[in-house]
Amino acid sequence: MTKWLYDEAMYRFDSPEPSYWEATQGDRTLSSVPLSTEESCDVAIIGGGYTGLSAAYHLCKDHQLDVRVLEAGHIGWGASGRNGGFCSVGGDAIGGEKMIRKFGLENTRDYYRAQVAAIELVRDIIVAEDIDAQRQGNSEVAIACSARGFQHLKAHAEFQFRVLGLDTAVVTPDEFRERFFDSPIQHGAVTLRPTFGLHPLRYVRGLAAAAEKRGATVHCRSEVIEWKSEGGTHFLRTRDGLVRARNVVLATNGFAPEHLNRQIAAKTMPMISSIVVTRPLAADELAEQCWQTESPSITALNLLNYFRILPDQRLMFGGRGSANGSAQSAAKNYAKLIARMHELFPAWRDVDIDYRWHGLVCMTRRLTPAIGRLEDDPSVFFAFGYHGNGVNTATWAGKQIADWLGTAANGLNTAPEWLPSVVHGMPRDFPFARFRLQYIQGVINMLRLIDRLS
Ligand SMILES: Cc1cc2nc3c(=O)[nH]c(=O)nc-3n(C[C@H](O)[C@H](O)[C@H](O)COP(=O)(O)OP(=O)(O)OC[C@H]3O[C@@H](n4cnc5c(N)ncnc54)[C@H](O)[C@@H]3O)c2cc1C
């Protein structure tokens, strides 16, 4: 099996993405240094994003375990430091109706209740740990891109409200123009609360500082290059050090190395998502699109775009990424993303783009997140597959792992009853896992066609 699924350019752990978030990350200092010695601990966590750091934070705070986090890049190098900052309901790609058919009504309701609780968990951590995460807005705005799309969206919002208990509200096209912004593509919208935008890198660095404050040791620039297990102990080797641990939490999501744990690699479908950010927009430029919202917005399509105005009045605009992550294919993809941005906001056609970057999200074959422990080695816990919605879901998943591992240390071996069955356990392998990139391109082409016809 090859080492990486995408072009190697996607895995340069020693260089940060040239993102707006990196340029505005604030001055919070972390004590993390690369691992350079041989150490032992209760729990070693591979991956220093929301999943790994939330697990570390809760393991130390609530279960008093000795924890080390090993992150290949700097803290937040992965998706957690470069996402769109939507803290919103999601995490799956199956949708409420199909989820009910597959998992039943009560399990589906449990999942959505957990999704809302996960947003509140992020809010609570930000407040409790005094993280300067620049929260913005109070709902997610899903925009219909055709009259027929609006009918579907309204019916779906009614279903979400009535059956799933979500706080949705319909906005007619005229109301939309008055309350949010104007765009030739909008045909009305639906809002969903609670949702807010945040600065993803400040949030993940704040989470790391909070974990350190509670006693976790966080190692940046410490890629795990070898993982062996013997006699109930795991041995994780980095370039300059070694950690021995009774338990391992695998928290690498879309950046899961293909070689480190083959069982998990075949169950992940990493996909590239891309973002561009404009220069700051002046008040008269914002007025040209009647802009008056800080709430995060999406187009209600299968291949959706996500966007919001940042605190310094720049437009952040995201969407599907390139096919293989090479510099050449990324450049073509940014050009398409910018052209799409101009379709939505023609008044900003000549506005400069100051930042462009991309990263990996992760899907599963089950189309729901995966949280659990390995069947053949229950000392290994995992959480991945948030389908591009990990700000709340990964933070929450890290806490579920911490609570499970914390009680497992006291003898509990089955899945905790509070964990929604929708996310529990390992999904099946993607068939012919070596050909996942070809498979995902096929799926993307099909979704593009469905979007055109809708
Ligand atoms: C462009 C983009 C936009 C997105 N927008 C949103 C959004 O608006 N809202 C939302 O909710 N979600 C969004 N997401 C998804 C979200 O960012 C992820 O779901 C979430 O960050 C996953 O967190 P994580 O900790 O599981 O993984 P990551 O943050 O990806 O962390 C995994 C870490 O594992 C490390 N790693 C890998 N291999 C090793 C190794 N061998 N040794 C040590 N460390 C290793 C990597 O360096 C990486 O830092 C977006 C993602 C992208 C890429």
Distance 32 CA to ligand 1 centre (A): 19
- pLDDT for the residue numbered 416: 80
Are 249 and 228 contained in the same domain?
yes
Are 134 and 259 contained in the same domain?
no
Nearest CA, atom 15, ligand 1:
388
Residue type, 212: E
Tell me how far CA of residue 173 lies from CA of 146, 199, 435, in angstroms.
11, 30, 43
Are 60 and 169 contained in the same domain?
no
Question: To test ligand 1's pocket by mutation, which of 4, 80, 242 has the most ligand atoms within 8 angstroms of CB?
Answer: 80
- pLDDT for the residue numbered 260: 85
What is the C-alpha to C-alpha distance for residues 29 and 16, in angstroms, rounded to an integer? 17
- Note whether 183 and 343 are within 8 A (CB): no
- pLDDT for the residue numbered 411: 58
Q: Is the peptide bond before 416 cis (omega within 30 degrees of 0)?
A: no
- pLDDT for the residue numbered 197: 98
Single out the residue in 322, 342, 363 at which a domain terminates: 363
Query: What's the total number of domains in the chain?
Result: 2
pLDDT in tens, 12-43: 999 999 999 999 998 888 889 999 999 999 99
CATH number of the domain encompassing residue 392:
3.50.50.60
Ligand 1-lining residues (CB < 6 angstroms): 13, 46-52, 70-73, 77-80, 82-86, 223-224, 251-255, 257, 260, 273, 275, 306, 318, 358-361, 386, 388-391, 394
Are 291 and 439 contained in the same domain?
no
Are 282 and 427 contained in the same domain?
no
Which parts of the chain sit beneath pLDDT 70? 1-2, 409-414
CATH number of the domain encompassing residue 163:
3.30.9.10
Residue 311 lies in a domain: yes
Are 160 and 306 contained in the same domain?
yes
Are 236 and 305 contained in the same domain?
no
What is the C-alpha to C-alpha distance for residues 246 and 316, in angstroms, rounded to an integer? 43
260 CA: nearest ligand 1 atom: 41
Residue 104 lies in a domain: no
Residue 306 lies in a domain: yes
Tell me how far CA of residue 263 lies from CA of 30, 146, 329, in angstroms.
33, 43, 29
What is the C-alpha to C-alpha distance for residues 60 and 274, in angstroms, rounded to an integer? 34
pLDDT in tens, 395-443: 999 999 999 999 876 555 667 888 999 999 999 999 888 888 888 888 8
Single out the residue in 363, 398, 414 at which a domain terminates: 363
360 CA: nearest ligand 1 atom: 53
What is the C-alpha to C-alpha distance for residues 288 and 425, in angstroms, rounded to an integer? 49
> How many residues are there in the chain?
454
Single out the residue in 363, 394, 425 at which a domain terminates: 363
- pLDDT for the residue numbered 413: 62
- pLDDT for the residue numbered 284: 97
What is the C-alpha to C-alpha distance for residues 263 and 374, in angstroms, rounded to an integer? 9
Distance 390 CA to ligand 1 centre (A): 8
Distance 17 CA to ligand 1 centre (A): 13
Q: 406 is in which domain, residue-wise?
A: 8-83+201-270+365-446
Residue 105 lies in a domain: no
- pLDDT for the residue numbered 274: 98
- pLDDT for the residue numbered 412: 58
Are 287 and 256 contained in the same domain?
no
Number of Cβ within a 10 Å radius of residue 330 = 22
What is the C-alpha to C-alpha distance for residues 137 and 197, in angstroms, rounded to an integer? 6
Are 353 and 377 contained in the same domain?
no
Nearest CA, atom 49, ligand 1:
78
77 CA: nearest ligand 1 atom: 49
Distance 124 CA to ligand 1 centre (A): 21
- pLDDT for the residue numbered 339: 98
Are 229 and 369 contained in the same domain?
yes
3-state secondary structure the chain: CCCCCCCHHHHCCCCCCCCHHHHCCCCCCCCCCCCCCEEEEEEEEECCCHHHHHHHHHHHHHHCCCEEEECCCCCCCCHHHCCCCEECCCCCCCCHHHHHHHHCHHHHHHHHHHHHHHHHHHHHHHHHCCCCCCCECCCEEEECCCHHHHHHHHHHHHHHHHCCCCEEEEECHHHHHHHCCCCCCCCCEEEEECCEECCHHHHHHHHHHHHHHCCCEEECCCCCCEEEEECCEEEEECCCCEEEEEEEEECCHHHCCCCCCHHHHCCCEEEEEEEEEECCCCHHHHHHCCCCCCCCEEECCCCCCEEEECCCCCEEEEEECCCCCCHHHHHHHHHHHHHHHHHHCHHHCCCCEEEEEEEEEEECCCCCCEEEECCCCCCEEEEECCCCCHHHHHHHHHHHHHHHHHHHCCCCCCCCCCCCCCCECCCCCCCCHHHHHHHHHHHHHHHHHHHHHC
Handedness of CA 341, 342, 346, 350 (dihedral sign): positive
pLDDT in tens, 336-353: 999 999 999 999 999 999
- Note whether 180 and 206 are within 8 A (CB): no
257 CA: nearest ligand 1 atom: 38
What is the C-alpha to C-alpha distance for residues 415 and 408, in angstroms, rounded to an integer? 9
What does R_g of the chain's alpha carbons equal in angstroms? 21
Distance 130 CA to ligand 1 centre (A): 22
Residue 259 lies in a domain: yes
Are 283 and 176 contained in the same domain?
yes
